[in-house]
Amino acid sequence: MEKVMNSYETLFVVDATLSEEDVKATVEKFTALIAENGTVESVDEWGKRKLAYLINDKSEGYYVLVNFKSEGEFPSELERLMKINENILRFIVIRKIEDKKTKKEA
């Protein structure tokens, strides 16, 4: 049976009060986890930005956007791991709907 690979994107915010090495290690940990369980299409590090509102008394976060393909079960596991990691302030994982025109061209 063929594995169904869906397209996803995740945006997560790392605690910017951490050292630069800790921020990079957290980003690398999650991008490596995604790569192990799917295919990373792109990683876009937006860098340190001001948050719209305080989260855990912090006003800045390090934003990272990752586009990837994986099987349907993996995103819930990714969310679980991000939820229990205290270096991650906020995250969201979204399944991207592929346009039929784009799919036919590929």
Are 9 and 65 in contact by the 8 Å Cβ rule? The answer is yes
Q: 94 in a domain, yes or no?
A: yes
Domain count, the chain: 1
Are 43 and 31 in contact by the 8 Å Cβ rule? The answer is yes
CA distance 72 to 93: 12
CATH number of the structural domain spanning residue 24: 3.30.70.60
pTM for the whole thing? 0.86
Q: 48 in a domain, yes or no?
A: yes
CA distance 65 to 42: 8
Q: 63 in a domain, yes or no?
A: yes
pLDDT digits 0-9 by tens, 47-99 = 999 999 999 999 999 999 999 999 999 999 999 999 999 999 999 999 998 76
Q: 1 in a domain, yes or no?
A: no
Q: 68 in a domain, yes or no?
A: yes
CA distance 23 to 16: 7
| pLDDT over 70 (residue 102) | no
